[in-house]
Amino acid sequence: MKKTVLAFLISIPLLSGVSLASSSLSETLLLPAGSLSALMLSAAPVSAPEPEPAPEPDFSRITLNPRLVSTSSAQAIIEPNFRGSRFSDSMFNASLLSLVALNIADFVSTKECLKYPHLSEGNPLMKSFVKNDAVFAAVKGGLTIASYFGTKALYKRSKPLGWIVSLASNLALSYVVSNNFRLLRNARGR
């Protein structure tokens, strides 16, 4: 599906006939150069002879030995890659970076919320670490690094499972950060 969408997005400028490099639309050729001369009307006769068209290639000698065709080579011929694995890996790395950014936002927003006496840490596992800033930063940083590399290792073994863990972690941390900012906004409004 991603390959289809990417191919569609790439083909839009090509199918529209608009050159992105030209400075105006009047410079853009919408027809191949050979067919343009047939449409041009001029008062002067054409003095230069038309070049001979290139001969058609001979495809009669091409044979296909079914014993030499593997599924991977056939798939490479039938369905181009469009660098799909690189794109997927880049998107996964972006989800890991958002996981790191959300952990940083959680740390900062938690520290801001703890400045108000009526707010406290909601995570019972982290409750004992938030009293000391250095310990809290070390624990939060260690957990962030462990989740980053652990999820990346999981992705190398099983890409779908790595995506599920990454997306679930991002969604959970997004909720935590948004809840922290909501509590902080309510505490400042008092």
pLDDT, tens only, 146-185: 999 999 999 999 999 999 999 999 999 999 999 999 999 9
DSSP one-letter string for the chain: -HHHHHHHHHHHHHHHT--SSSSSGGG---S-HHHHHHH---SSPP-SPPPPPPPPP--TT----GGG--HHHHHHHHS--TTHHHHHHHHHHHHHHHHHHHHHHHHHHHHHHTTSTT-----TTTTTTTTSHHHHHHHHHHHHHHHHHHHHHHHHH-HHHHHHHHHHHHHHHHHHHHHHHHHHHHHHH-
pLDDT digits (tens, 9 = 90+) for 38-78: 444 444 555 566 777 777 777 666 665 656 555 555 555 44
The tens digit of pLDDT for each residue in 8-34 reads: 445 444 444 433 343 333 343 444 444
Each residue of 115-127: pLDDT tens digit? Answer: 998 888 888 888 8
* Domain boundaries defined on the chain: 85-189
The answer to pTM > 0.75 is: no
Give the model's pLDDT for residue 42. 45
